[in-house]
Structures are given as C-alpha cells and as structure tokens.
Structure 1
Amino acid sequence: MSRMKKTQKRSREGELSIEPPPKDHALAKWFYSNDDLIFYELRLAGRKEIPPRYLNPKLLDSQNFNHLKEMLNIQGLMDFVQFRDKYYPELTSIAYATLGMESNTRDLKDFSMVFKLGRNIYKVHCSRLASIWNLPLDGCLFEGGKTPLEDWGYDKMRAMQMFNLTQNEKSKIPCQPMNDEYRTLLYLVTYILEPRISGHGNVADEDLVLMWAMVNEIKINWSYLILHHMLRLKGKDTSGGLGYLCLWSRIFNYLGIDVSNENVKHFNPRWSEINEVTLHHMGRGKEEEEQAPQMAFRGHPGPSSQEQPSMSDLMQVLQSIEQNIDQRFQRIEDNQTSMDGRLQRMDRRLQRMERHMNIQEEEDEDQE
C-alpha cells in the first residue's frame, strides 16, 4: 500500500475542513477523514499483533494456587482471564486509528470508549463496556504513572521485597526469583491485563504496582485501565504491538458491525493457553533437568555446565540468600517473643499455685 501525503484544506472562514479519503482507496469505506487514514497508514498499518492468551483454570487447582485464585476473585477477573474468541486483526488496527476516550470532568468514573468506522461514530459507556468485557464497575481509577500511589501506601522497595525481586546492573527487574504463583500472576498482567509485545521476563514498574495492589486487595477499575492502555498502545511507534484483540471482537459484536468479509483468526490452544506447560517455559523444572546438582535458591536456577555465572547472577543469588536469612531470623525472633510470652504466663500460674498451696498448708496447720 503506497503512503499518502498529508493534505489539509481550509474553508473561506479559515476553519479547517475535513477532506474525505480517495474513493478508490481500498480502505475508503472505513475512514471518513483523510487525516485518520493517513494516521492509520503511518502509525498502525502492518503493526504486529500481541497474541491473545487465556488462563486454563485447572492450573490454579492443580498447583494449589489458592492465593492467586483469591486475588482474581476479589478483582472480578476470573471469567475475564479465561475468555477466548476469534478476532479480526486488520479491522482492530483500523478501529485503533480513531480510538478515543470521553470522560466527565466532574466524575472520572463516568467515561466512554469512542471510535469511528466510516461515517459511523460509536460510543460505548463505561457501564456497558464493563458488561461487554465481563468486568466489575467499581474499583480505583488507575491509568499508569499519573496515579498518586501515595494514597495507596505503595512503596517500590517494599513491593520488590514482597515478591523477592532485585534490580540487576542494567536496571531491569528479572522475574526469575519469584515463585510460580507470582510469576503466573505476572504472566496474566503482561499478556492479558496489560499486554505487550515483548519483555515478559522483566517486571516493569507498572507491573509491580498492579501485582502489589492485587496482593493487598486494592480493587481496580479494569475497564478504565484497559481503555487507557489501549490509547497507549495506539500512541506507540510502529515497533509496538496491538493487543486486546478479543476484547475488540466483543465490541464489534455488540455494536453489530459487519465482520463477515474481514480476515479472522482463531485461538491456538497450544500457544495461547496458560497452563502447566507455561510454567515450564517460565523456568520451572530447570534445576531438576540439570545432570549435576547445582546451587539454586527460590527461583534462582544454578549455572549450567556450559555457561559461567556472571557477576550480576552471583549478586542476585547473594541478595536472595541475604533476604532468606533475614526472613528466617525474623521468624526466629517472632518465635522467641511468643515463647517468652508463654513462659511469663506459665511463671504467673506457678506463682499463683504456690500461693494457693501455702495458704492451704497454713489452714491445715491451724486445724491441727
């Protein structure tokens, strides 16, 4: 498809007029404004799709991920993370070109998703949007770095300690030290809740905030967050991918948009399902697969026989050891405090028993 030069026409009054796209253009039926078509061709045409994922709920039971199950239920996400359907990658990228959001300045929870296809302007209110996506209506408004996290009591260092995470020398936060349950939570965040095209092995700042909020049972307005993330995906350069493909399919279906002639794709369970196989791809079992026993600590696989550990790897292992030792000492101190309390209570009981016995002996002596 040839690139088009951007042109603008002005009326006699000096106001900017809307120039329609060329009638012979293959996508003319989808765009009312030539500027929208140019934006699509320059920024969205040919964008990679972020492959949709869905959770197999049997994973939660088979791995005893009761904490993760509880977090998903509190957030109202259990059905959402299991959703899968066919999707339309080309039509979705076209819809992204005119995507916008309308908010009530007095009540930010009153917002709508807005986009255009051809001469039709579609507006989906947040209440309907939540219903279409099977999400709850309530929750805190979170759109990324603009949210004042101080109101949540969020602290990055404490959050990293909660998940046993440390930054490496490249200022990245690898997910390997996390246990299987938290790594599955990260997988849900980076592939379903806030999908991205790459970097799933590292914990971004926003990933950390979302996981911390879910662990601390802070409910989030997911429709608001998803719509903001859609706008961020739209604004990225051409190397960024486009996600939420199945959510767009639900929107098209609800609005009655004719998709009969659109290119359609279907889920491939082998690549799309988050299950036990996914855990192995995320790193589980590598310690057992080594022929010789290697040193490993809670998510830190030992170095292979063909690759010597780097200084950053050793530092991560040492930091993990230090954290584990601190946690064990803390548990010992807690147990010691508990034992001291029990000993004090036992000592008071013995003193009462001795006083009672002395009184009883004196009474017996008086009777004699």
Structure 2
Amino acid sequence: MPRMKKTQKRSKEGESSVEPPPSNHPLAKWFHANEDLIFYELRLAGRKEIPPRYLNPTLLDSHNFSHLKEMLNMQGLLDFMQIREKYYPELTSIAYATLGIESDSQDPSNFSMVFKLGRNTYNVHCSRLASIWNLPLDGCLFEGGKIPLEDWGYDKMRAMQLFNLTQNERSKIPCQTMKDEYRTLLYLVTYILEPRVTGHGNVTDEDLVLMCAMVNDIKINWPFLILHHMLRIKGKDTSGGIGYLCLWTRIFNYLSIDVSNEVVKHLNARCEINEATLHHMGRGKEEAPPHQAQRQQAEQSEPSMRDLMGIMQRMELNQQHLSQQMINIQQEQQRIWRSVRRIEAHTFNEDYNMPSDDEDQD
C-alpha cells in the first residue's frame, strides 16, 4: 500500500505536536489530528452529494453523435464516462478533509494524490491514478479554472459563436440554443468531468474553455484537472456538493481501505445518461405540427384542480339539463294522456246519445 513518509513535527518534550481528536468522538478512528476533524465538521459534514452519472455509449450511435464520439475517443474519455460503482458518501467527505496534491516543482505533470485516514497517509501517484480511473496521462495541464488560454489562441466570442450561445441580461449564458450534440457534451462536462450541484442549464467560462478545447482536439490531462477540481470542492463552503463519489470508491478499493461498516449507496436508473436524459433536457425530439403538439400535450398533461372543478360543474349542469328534460317529457306525457281521455270521453258520449233503429222506424 503506497504511503508517504511521515514528517510529523515534534515538540521540545519529544511528543507529537499534533493534537488528536477526542477518543469518544464517533469519527475519531478516521482522523489523526483534531484540526482535521474540526475542518471536516465545519466545512464538509452534511454536504449534499452530487449524484454520480455514467454514459450509455449507445446514445452516441443512436443519435449519430459521431463528432462527440470522436472527441471523447481522442480525449480517452469513453471508458471513464462509463464508470459506475457503489459509493460511500460519508467516508468520501472525510477523505476530502485532508486531500492535497504533491507535485514536482520542475515537472508539474509528475504529481500525486495525497490524503489521510486515521494514522495512515496515502500517496497515489498520477500514473496509478490514471490507471484506476481509466484515463490517459498526457495533455495540457488545466488547473481547474487556471487555464493557459494564450497557449492556443482561445477567444470567448468565437467560442460562443461556435456553440450558438448568447449572453442574457443577467450575464448568464443559457444552453437552450445549443445543438443536441454540444448540449450533450455540456451535460457530460457538468455532471461527470467537473460535477456541480446546480447551474447545469448555464454555460460557465470554464465550461466554454473545456468544450472549445475538446472541439479543437486539444488534449487535456484529465487526472490533473480532476484532482485540482477536487481541491476546489474541498475549499467550497457548505453549499457546495461532494462530487466524484465513484472515483473515490475506486481509490478506496485500490488502497484496500476497510469500508465494511460504512454507509453505502448504489446507482439507480436516473444516473444513466441515455435517451431519457435527452428528453428530460427537451432535446432529441422531432418537431410536431402545432395542432398535433397541442393535442399531445393535452393528452399527456395531468388535469389540475381547476380543471377537475370545471369538469364537475359541467357534469352538474348536464345533470340539471337532463332533469329538466325529464320533467318536460313527463309534462308532455300528461298532456297527451289528458287529450286522449277527452277524446275517449267525447266519443263515448256520442255513442251513448245516438238513437236506435227501432226509434227511427217509429
């Protein structure tokens, strides 16, 4: 199991200067220093988890997203996009509390992921990290927002024109005008590559840079970017979410960390990026004629309380109308019977008063 050398400072008395957490604390076994436990409780405990997502590769073929598939292949991301593991949200939050990066000052591409659990310090070299996450280890070093744009002539306005984007009056860039293929690329960026809690319907400057780099076949060192984005997650306030949960599971498995007593969660059907995802985004549907679209919408929409009240009122009016019709029919029936009885009575009287044959002879 790879570990860093311990460089713990000693006090003059020869004892460790690190104050351990209270022994009766339920998380004491995961923290060697009380300051790490305090940081966890103040900044990470109880944070909302960002549900993991994974790509169903058949989506790219079924919608003929050939350009998107080429981009993902070129970046070496197809296998990474399909990672799906059970995950441990609480243990992942604890690991974030001590997360750091060690890198060579002469060669930033030579870096390691470093974190602590209990008295163990773990150091995972970038080459091993890339293997665990099914990612290549080459390309530009993007440090989560610190991107050397001057190196490849990036221009924001041209990038927005490329993706058919415009900025609104709130200085936000909504994604509704993007083509289906690029909209799906943005979904992959904001849910898998750099996951966030909210704002998936708007394109940030960093989203724009990453997508523009991918479209222009500029290869990105994804382990480097992901690790730096993890540090940004750690540094956010309590409103930020905990992401990369499945990637942490792979780290725990590689380091043989005991997770038998940890809270575990499993992916569900909503975690898959598939045909239903496109429909949820409002994309991937053929435009129907206006009258047909209205009819489909009326058929698919559920009636509101106002609609139900209107239906009940119409039913009551129909019932009153039917009752009035029944009354009219009964009155007409009575009128007919009275007419029949008068006719019968008149006929009977004429027959009774008619003279007999004998009386005529006399």
- Bin of the TM-score, shorter chain as denominator length: 0.7 to 0.9
Partner of 1:281: 280
Superposed, which structure 2 residues align to 1:199-210 within 5 Å? Answer: 199-210=199-210
Partner of 2:17: 17
Deviation at 1:186, TM superposition (A): 0.2
Write the distance in 2 (CA, Å) between the matches of 1:68 and 1:172: 25
Provide the secondary structure at the position in 2 that maps to 1:123. Answer: strand
- Structure 1 segments, 4+ long, off by >6 Å, are none
Over the aligned positions, Cα root-mean-square deviation in angstroms equals 2.0
With over 3 angstroms needed to count, the CA separation of the structure-2 counterparts of 1:239 and 1:112, relative to structure 1, is same
Deviation at 1:171, TM superposition (A): 0.4
After TM superposition, the score normalised by the length of structure 1 is 0.74
Write the distance in 1 (CA, Å) between the matches of 2:290 and 2:114: 53
Superposed, which structure 2 residues align to 1:155-234 within 5 Å? Answer: 155-234=155-234
With over 3 angstroms needed to count, the CA separation of the structure-2 counterparts of 1:206 and 1:289, relative to structure 1, is farther
Code of the residue aligned with 2:91 in structure 1: it is L
Deviation at 1:293, TM superposition (A): 7.6
Partner of 1:122: 122
Code of the residue aligned with 1:273 in structure 2: it is E
Superposed, which structure 2 residues align to 1:349-368 within 5 Å? Answer: none
Deviation at 1:281, TM superposition (A): 1.1
Write the distance in 2 (CA, Å) between the matches of 1:35 and 1:87: 26
**Percentage of matched positions with identical amino acids:** 80
Deviation at 1:147, TM superposition (A): 2.3
Write the distance in 2 (CA, Å) between the matches of 1:27 and 1:286: 53
Write the distance in 2 (CA, Å) between the matches of 1:202 and 1:64: 25
With over 3 angstroms needed to count, the CA separation of the structure-2 counterparts of 1:286 and 1:238, relative to structure 1, is farther
Partner of 1:49: 49
Write the distance in 2 (CA, Å) between the matches of 1:40 and 1:286: 49
Provide the secondary structure at the position in 2 that maps to 1:192. Answer: helix
* Number of residue-to-residue matches in the alignment: 284
Code of the residue aligned with 1:278 in structure 2: it is T
Superposed, which structure 2 residues align to 1:1-368 within 5 Å? Answer: 11=11, 17-269=17-269, 271-284=270-283, 285=285, 288=288, 291=291
Provide the secondary structure at the position in 2 that maps to 1:91. Answer: helix
After TM superposition, the score normalised by the length of structure 2 is 0.76
Select the structure of larger CA radius of gyration: 2
Write the distance in 2 (CA, Å) between the matches of 1:234 and 1:196: 13
Write the distance in 2 (CA, Å) between the matches of 1:281 and 1:191: 14
Write the distance in 2 (CA, Å) between the matches of 1:208 and 1:118: 40
Deviation at 1:225, TM superposition (A): 0.1
Q: 5+ residue gaps in structure 1?
A: 1-9, 295-368
Code of the residue aligned with 1:123 in structure 2: it is N
Code of the residue aligned with 2:113 in structure 1: it is M
Write the distance in 1 (CA, Å) between the matches of 2:153 and 2:87: 39
Q: 5+ residue gaps in structure 2?
A: 1-9, 295-362
Write the distance in 2 (CA, Å) between the matches of 1:293 and 1:154: 41
Code of the residue aligned with 2:247 in structure 1: it is L
Deviation at 1:141, TM superposition (A): 0.4
Code of the residue aligned with 1:145 in structure 2: it is G
Deviation at 1:288, TM superposition (A): 3.6
- Deviation string for 1:162-182 (max 9, x for gaps)? 000000000000000001100
Write the distance in 2 (CA, Å) between the matches of 1:97 and 1:255: 18
Write the distance in 1 (CA, Å) between the matches of 2:276 and 2:66: 19
Write the distance in 2 (CA, Å) between the matches of 1:96 and 1:174: 31
With over 3 angstroms needed to count, the CA separation of the structure-2 counterparts of 1:262 and 1:293, relative to structure 1, is closer
- Deviation string for 1:1-54 (max 9, x for gaps)? xxxxxxxxx9568x9921000001000000000000000000000000000000
Compare 62-71 and 277-286 and name the one that shifted more.
277-286
Code of the residue aligned with 1:183 in structure 2: it is R
- Deviation string for 1:189-248 (max 9, x for gaps)? 000000000000000100000000000000000000000000000000000001000000
Code of the residue aligned with 2:280 in structure 1: it is H
Provide the secondary structure at the position in 1 that maps to 2:144. Answer: coil
Code of the residue aligned with 1:88 in structure 2: it is Y
Code of the residue aligned with 2:146 in structure 1: it is K
Partner of 1:361: none
Write the distance in 1 (CA, Å) between the matches of 2:89 and 2:278: 28
Code of the residue aligned with 1:119 in structure 2: it is R
Deviation at 1:286, TM superposition (A): 8.8
Code of the residue aligned with 1:35 in structure 2: it is E
Provide the secondary structure at the position in 2 that maps to 1:101. Answer: strand
Partner of 2:7: none
- Deviation string for 1:85-132 (max 9, x for gaps)? 100000000000000000100000000000000000000000000000
With over 3 angstroms needed to count, the CA separation of the structure-2 counterparts of 1:119 and 1:274, relative to structure 1, is same
Partner of 1:311: none
Write the distance in 2 (CA, Å) between the matches of 1:288 and 1:231: 46
Partner of 1:329: none
Code of the residue aligned with 2:213 in structure 1: it is A
Write the distance in 2 (CA, Å) between the matches of 1:180 and 1:194: 20
Partner of 2:338: none
Provide the secondary structure at the position in 2 that maps to 1:114. Answer: strand
Provide the secondary structure at the position in 1 that maps to 2:78. Answer: coil
Deviation at 1:153, TM superposition (A): 1.1
